[in-house]
Amino acid sequence: MTASEDSFYMERYCYVLASWFDIFDSTKHFSKVVPHLSLSHSLLRLSILAWAAKHYYLTKLTQSVDTSLAYYDRALRMLTTTVSDNSMSSSPAVFASCLLLAISELMGDSYQDWQLHLEGTYSLVMTHGWHGHSVGLGGACFWVYARMDVLSSLSTAECSRLPTELWLPTNDEAELYGLLSTPSTEDWSNQTVFLLAQIHNLLCKVRAEESADTFSSLLATWNALREKIQLHQQRQPYHFKPLAVLEASDTKDDSFPTKRYLNESISLATQFWDVAKLLFILARPERCRRERSDRYRIEAKTFITLARQTIATSVHNRHEANWVGATQLLSVTGMALTDWAERKALVKCFKDIHLRTGWNTHEMIDALLAWWGWSAPLNERGQSWTDVHEEIGPYASASEWMLRMFDCGVVMKAARMSGHP
């Protein structure tokens, strides 16, 4: 690499961005393998430069977006040609390029383009059979794609694109739960993503298919997942134990308890785990709405605790790699908050994420303000969320918010719906 501009953006990728993809990868393929591989793979190199230039534009705001677009357009044309040839598209470098271009779209405001990239990456995974036990860069790419797939499914309240039955070879899932020795931090984190996908897919099916005819089969699936959750919890490595636990202060300026973890990988995996358990509470099939309402009242305290823990982790563990991996998790758990001060703390966290990383959090903020019932009164008063010093939205109990979350599925969709809890 001889061009100074290319060198500048490659350095930004290596020093800042690669760790975002390596969050659960102990081998650090995107930090240690991809940069040198890109020197002999033009598509991969252009994809890296496109993402790095996009990140620089979004965080500095003094740089023209034209540089990023030029890299991106060249990479996209090359990718289109490459994926049309199975012999060329089978390279893990192509897989990595798809993911790099996808996140470049996601962190800006091109949500639809991100979805298109994920669709294309899904086709690549299906064509070449990559899975959770693929070795080397291909395996690392698979788990990055898996996280993207899960986060995309949470954002749309739809099942994951890739059926979870295809995530691991046929006999490997049984080995994950109790038959292997204590898993590594990397394995446990990836298995958590896998469990979250299974739980959310069940929740989507319960929403869509729940009836007297399907109750027994759905409940059997839920019970099987409960056993997996229990075994997964028992096999959690000791590194996941918080290093420090501090109670929330008496002031509204610090309304969340603090837990400090060993590193950003641990804290993010913990958030995925808390959201998995939270959605598992929502997902249990019931014979009627009254049964669901009664159960939600019983489990509301646990549900809110899981939501608060997820958000508190991002409020107090301010690692960029953690932040960008947790934005959709925060959007989901933010729907459960009932305290106005905690809601403000979450919005401030979203604002900080945007300023530090360039990640587009504006739509999530707007959607949550609408979900909480804050948008209308703030607009009427000509005020901002920073002016809120007491609850201005409609009152609802925690269990009523849970019912609304079950009904609406996703805050982006709910924000477009009228009515209150």
Sign of CA dihedral 272, 278, 281, 285: negative
Decide if pLDDT at 218 tops 90.
yes
Mean pLDDT, all residues of the chain: 90
* Paired tokens of 153: 């499914």
Could you count the other beta carbons within 10 Å of the beta carbon of residue 362? 12
Task: Calculate mean pLDDT across residues 346-353.
Answer: 96
Percent of the chain as helix, strand, coil, to the nearest 5: 70, 0, 30
d(CA 95, CA 50): 16
Decide if pLDDT at 90 tops 80.
yes
d(CA 371, CA 393): 9
- H-helix segments, 171-211: 172-176, 185-209
Q: Is residue 250 very low, low, confident or very high in pLDDT (cuts 50, 70, 90)?
A: low
Sign of CA dihedral 127, 132, 136, 141: positive
Place of tokens 């229990």: 230
pTM value is 0.93
Residue 244 host element (H or E): strand 244-246
| Residue 244, beta-bridge partner list | 260
Decide if pLDDT at 33 tops 70.
yes
Query: Residue 416 has what pLDDT?
Result: 45
Which of 75-79, 216-220, 244-248, 342-346 has the least mean pLDDT?
Answer: 244-248
Decide if pLDDT at 419 tops 50.
no
Q: What is the DSSP letter of 258?
A: E
**Better pLDDT: 169 or 45:** 45
Task: Calculate mean pLDDT across residues 251-265.
Answer: 82
Residue 216 DSSP SS3: helix
273 closest CA partner among 235, 321, 301, 222: 235
Task: Calculate mean pLDDT across residues 57-61.
Answer: 85
* Paired tokens of 240: 């996941």
